[in-house]
Amino acid sequence: MSGHRRVNRDAGPPAATRPKPGPPTQPLRQIPAAEAEAAASSSEPGQLRAPRRRRRRRGRGGSRLPERAIVFVGPMAAGKTSLGKRVARELGIEFVDTDAVFVRKHGVIAEFFERHGEAEFRRLEAEVIAEELAVPGPRIVALGGGAVIAEQTRRLLREHPVVLLMTTQEAVLRTANIARRPLLRDDPEAWGRILEERRGFYEEVADVTYRTDRATKEQLARRVAQWARGYERQRRRADGARRHRDAAHEPSEGE
């Protein structure tokens, strides 16, 4: 787990002015082909566009986002997908649900479980997650409720900002689509038991935790987006404080 993430389109300098009639006092500057091409595409004749430099991605609002996935974890029906989509829209970045990616590659999860067992599902789920986390640039990636069981996945999450979404069993039973969740339909108490089994894993990987049963989705989306925009600044501050503490504890010469 990590600590605690526009292109300037102004025209460049004007091209060399045309000399007065008569022999020039100095040789004319030869305009490189790249500059000539830029001048030809400029919106105003006689102006050169400065070469565009690649800038780090910024979310809406101007703050810098992490140059890697912001990951949502949490128990089943905590709102990872619905809130993740809202936060992605708020930040103007892509949203990915790894459960949906798994279904596209391997079929319906419940059927895969029944045919191949949980161990094979977890192995392939971890592969899907590793592939999605390897994609560069800021994006929201929501994981399945049990993804944190895999040690491989927890190791990868140390390099990413991780948002833990929590709720209560009462809220889940009140708001979740029971028909689409056989586990809740067949054994409503199972949700609480599974949460307790995984709670330690969630807390191990999380950088920040939000309760989805205590605010509207719109409010939560704004809060999480604000946290994501300030993540890099917070991480640098935490790293600096840690280095300062480490330096303070180093023995001085002669001790």
Report the binding-site residues for substrate: 99, 122, 145, 198
Report the binding-site residues for ATP: 77-82, 181
Q: Are 172 and 184 in contact (CB under 8 A)?
A: yes
Burial class (CB in 10 A: 0-12, 13-18, 19+), 143: buried
Residue type at 14?
A: P
Residue 56, CB-side half-sphere exposure with 13 Å CA sphere? 11
CA–CA separation, 1 and 207 (whole Å)? 7
Which of helix, strand or coil describes residue 77?
Answer: coil
CA–CA separation, 128 and 86 (whole Å)? 23
CA–CA separation, 109 and 121 (whole Å)? 8
Tokens of 95: 């949203």
Give the pairing type, strands 11-14 and 47-49. antiparallel
Report the binding-site residues for Mg(2+): 81
Report the binding-site residues: 77-82, 99, 122, 145, 181, 198
Q: Dihedral sign, CA of 71, 77, 78, 82?
A: positive
